[in-house]
Structure 1
Amino acid sequence: MNTAAPATKARTGVSGLDTVLAGGLSQGHVFLLEGNPGAGKTTIALQFLIEGARLGERGLYITLSETEAELRAGAASHGMIIDGDIEVFEVVPPESLLDADQQQSLLYSSDLELGETTREIFAAFERVKPSRVVLDSLSEIRLLAQSSLRYRRQILALKHYFARQGATVLLLDDQTSEMLDKTVHSVVHGVIHLDELAPTYGAERRRLRVTKYRGQAFRGGYHDFTIQTGGVVVFPRLVAAEHRSSYARDQLPSDIAELDLLLGGGLERGSSTLILGPAGTGKSTFSFQFLMAAIARGERAAAFIFDEELGLLFTRLRALGMDLEAMRDQGLLHIEQLDAAELSPGEFAHRVCASVDKLGAKTVVIDSINGYQAAMPDENSLILHMHELLQYLNRQGANTFLTVAQHGLVGDMKAPVDVTYLADTVILLRYFEAVGRVRRAVSVIKKRTGHHEDTIREYRIDADGLTIGDPIVGFQGVLRGVPEFVATSAALLPTDSEDGVNS
């Protein structure tokens, strides 16, 4: 989809929103921005006017429910200054309507207020001659109109007046009255709906959806957004089909000969790898082994950590000969610790894509999917998000490494979510008992991009790093964690007290 902004589009000034709107708001039309109080409508409206002022367009903010002082204070909290080409017009009730002695009974006071309000709005427009207008909010006009018919006629009158003037108008509706009233939806040129969700635990999640945009293709569905200091930031839903690139599909080694043999020579560039196993088997160590090999090749890498504190991770891997902190300080590695309770799926996908687009990372580690799942509303959404994200990374020629911790330690183990079919390669890690010791085994159970060994190899993690042994023979049932000895001898890695082959 082409998201370039034509000359007839008014950019919103909201990061990511113009991508969703295929360039911005069509100039000279009226749009509706709706959502519950606190959803972010006023912040988006201010960004819309400030962007217009930056482009040399005059703006008018008409407020019926919030005082000018409150509006300016809210803008200042985001570092926004309302001056110059932006004027705030506060509509206040006529003093005669507030004075009980001057109220009359032949006409309802709402009839007088609605007419007076409309005249004040038109007078302010004629005085300022703006190119961009914000009207906040429609709930006040709806209450003054009293009937649905009169309300619709009033909105139509406003629409036709602004259309004749060529202004781009943003109507705000806080949905505090007549929640099911869709009168404005049929009148305006486009509708943007804001949602605020409150999970059982963690920060609130915000998302928006364009429900209508006449004569214009737009990016449908829900898009996560946040309100940060400085304004609203929208994270458009990732569509992998929009992103394509060409690259050589060469094989990439892990720098461990035995592991490369197990993988049939290495991993193909632009593929995804899932490392599956119970807690403590070394899933992170395997993934960072591939990451360090990529950095050694002169490539940049990125890592997103959900489960482990970064200081502990640096210390633990430094003892294995992997100095991630030094790689980060040299600008070769982008690594960040994520809080699933505070992060929306859209923002996470945006950060991962930015590491590839802006930093040029060719290896991406996500540790772990268990933590990523906590940021998802349900498992179906997780699968869809992962599918789009992996497809995007693959098409950019990046290698992705995902870790999943299975429930249990030995025997029949289950993963909290099955993403094995999404990955191109699946590496399975297992504990098993042999000769009175707990040992670890690795096998490759899937590889879409070529052949791989069907053997099971023992591995060890110690001060020398990751050591992979020869294929295990003489045992049956290693992957179940309860092997049976079926031969006269078996080749196992020596332990600290052994210096040869176990038999």
Structure 2
Amino acid sequence: MYVGELLKSLDRVSTGVPGLDDLIGGGFIPGRVYLIVGPPGSGKTTFGIQFLIEGAKNEEKGLFISLLEHPKIITQDMLRYNFGLLTHLKSKRILFYDMGESIFGAGRRFTWSEIFENILRIIEAEGVKRVVIDSFTSLEYSVLDPEHKRMALGRFIRKLHERGVTCLIVAEMMSSENYTEDYYLTDGVIVLHHFMRNYQMVRALQVLKMHGVAHDSNLKKLRFTEEGLRVYPEAPF
């Protein structure tokens, strides 16, 4: 069994973002947990939807767990792209779960463990292999026990590994110098950047960390297109 699991880790799960798979050996390692982080408007949610769209094209059921925005708003925003998102929603190859309503509308605070256990129950009930959790940062100031995050998150990631779920955790970039537990405990970290240069917005993607995969950590040009995000092999400047 151990050898079989090692061989399985050689497989790849496409990110759904054109140009990115080439930077990380063909895609994500299945059954791992990755952090997608960036400032406002950098494309984090779009990245997550593209990941689920790619799975839906290959008959893989995906789940988007929203912790902040209403799924209706996210769906409306994504209609600007040629994703065919509505088709995948109607076929139930992509599911939305509004967890924010149950957390912030409960009238009480939850512990990190309670939140993660609830997420695992949702994942198991839906029987999905691709999951996006957006936005993780919204929980930071609403939990009952912020000091227990590292231990609870570590257990959560281990359980996702055991279930073979490939998960993207979306988070806001709080600081370029102070890293949260997410950076250390996840299997990979992809940072979306945007800069002002000569009065124009320049976008970039950086593979900051990727366990088990040779990767280029230099900034790569990133653009929004009608098909969503696209990564280019050259530097953004």
Scaled by the length of structure 2, the TM-score of the pair is 0.84
Question: What is the alpha-carbon distance in structure 2 between the residues aligned to residue 255 and residue 403 of structure 1?
Answer: 16
| CA deviation profile, 1:326-365 (whole Å, cap 9, x unmatched) | 4233222231122332273455333422343232200111
Question: What is the alpha-carbon distance in structure 1 between the residues aligned to residue 144 and residue 17 of structure 2?
Answer: 39
On the 8 A contact 1:428/1:445 being kept in 2, the answer is: yes
1:332/1:382 CA distance change after superposition, 3 Å: same
The yes-or-no answer on 1:460 pairing with 2:227 is no
User: How far is 1:259 from its partner?
Assistant: 0.8
User: How far is 1:284 from its partner?
Assistant: 1.0
Work out which of the residue numbers 251, 267, 281 in structure 1 matches 2:28.
267
Question: What is the alpha-carbon distance in structure 2 between the residues aligned to residue 279 and residue 266 of structure 1?
Answer: 25
Work out which of the residue numbers 425, 430, 436 in structure 1 matches 2:193.
430
Question: What is the alpha-carbon distance in structure 1 between the residues aligned to residue 27 and residue 55 of structure 2?
Answer: 12
RMSD over aligned Cα atoms: 2.4
Work out which of the residue numbers 272, 286, 293 in structure 1 matches 2:47.
286
Matching residue of 2:74: 313
On the 8 A contact 1:253/1:267 being kept in 2, the answer is: yes
1:314/1:423 CA distance change after superposition, 3 Å: same
Q: Give the structure with higher Rg (CA).
A: 1
SS of the counterpart of 1:273? strand
User: How far is 1:323 from its partner?
Assistant: 4.4
Partner letter of residue 322 of structure 1? F
1:380/1:322 CA distance change after superposition, 3 Å: farther
Partner letter of residue 455 of structure 1? N
Answer 1 or 2: higher relative contact order, Cα 8 Å, separation at least 6: 2
On the 8 A contact 2:189/2:210 being kept in 1, the answer is: yes
User: How far is 1:458 from its partner?
Assistant: 1.4
Matching residue of 1:203: none
Aligned length: 226
On the 8 A contact 2:34/2:187 being kept in 1, the answer is: yes
Work out which of the residue numbers 292, 295, 298 in structure 1 matches 2:59.
298
Matching residue of 1:398: 165
Matching residue of 1:443: 206
Question: What is the alpha-carbon distance in structure 2 between the residues aligned to residue 283 and residue 248 of structure 1?
Answer: 28
User: How far is 1:413 from its partner?
Assistant: 6.3
Q: Which structure 2 residues correspond to residues 155-304 of structure 1 after superposition, within 5 A?
A: 248-249=8-9, 250-304=11-65
Partner letter of residue 312 of structure 1? I
On the 8 A contact 1:429/1:443 being kept in 2, the answer is: yes
The yes-or-no answer on 1:387 pairing with 2:154 is yes
Partner letter of residue 78 of structure 2? L
More helix by share: 2
Question: What is the alpha-carbon distance in structure 1 between the residues aligned to residue 157 and residue 139 of structure 2?
Answer: 14
Runs of 4+, deviation exceeding 6 Å: none
On the 8 A contact 1:406/1:413 being kept in 2, the answer is: no
SS of the counterpart of 1:403? strand
Matching residue of 1:359: 126
User: How far is 1:414 from its partner?
Assistant: 5.0
Matching residue of 1:371: 138
Question: What is the alpha-carbon distance in structure 2 between the residues aligned to residue 429 and residue 279 of structure 1?
Answer: 10
Question: What is the alpha-carbon distance in structure 2 between the residues aligned to residue 472 and residue 301 of structure 1?
Answer: 32
Matching residue of 2:89: 328
Unaligned runs of 5+ in 1: 1-245, 476-503
On the 8 A contact 1:262/1:443 being kept in 2, the answer is: no
User: How far is 1:444 from its partner?
Assistant: 0.2
On the 8 A contact 1:361/1:398 being kept in 2, the answer is: yes
Question: What is the alpha-carbon distance in structure 2 between the residues aligned to residue 448 and residue 396 of structure 1?
Answer: 19
SS of the counterpart of 2:129? strand
1:315/1:375 CA distance change after superposition, 3 Å: same
1:357/1:414 CA distance change after superposition, 3 Å: same
Question: What is the alpha-carbon distance in structure 2 between the residues aligned to residue 413 and residue 404 of structure 1?
Answer: 15
On the 8 A contact 2:60/2:129 being kept in 1, the answer is: yes
Question: What is the alpha-carbon distance in structure 2 between the residues aligned to residue 276 and residue 351 of structure 1?
Answer: 23
| CA deviation profile, 1:276-330 (whole Å, cap 9, x unmatched) | 1111111111122112111212111111111212221001112122344442332
Partner letter of residue 277 of structure 1? G
Question: What is the alpha-carbon distance in structure 2 between the residues aligned to residue 453 and residue 297 of structure 1?
Answer: 27
Identity %: 22
Question: What is the alpha-carbon distance in structure 2 between the residues aligned to residue 287 and residue 263 of structure 1?
Answer: 17
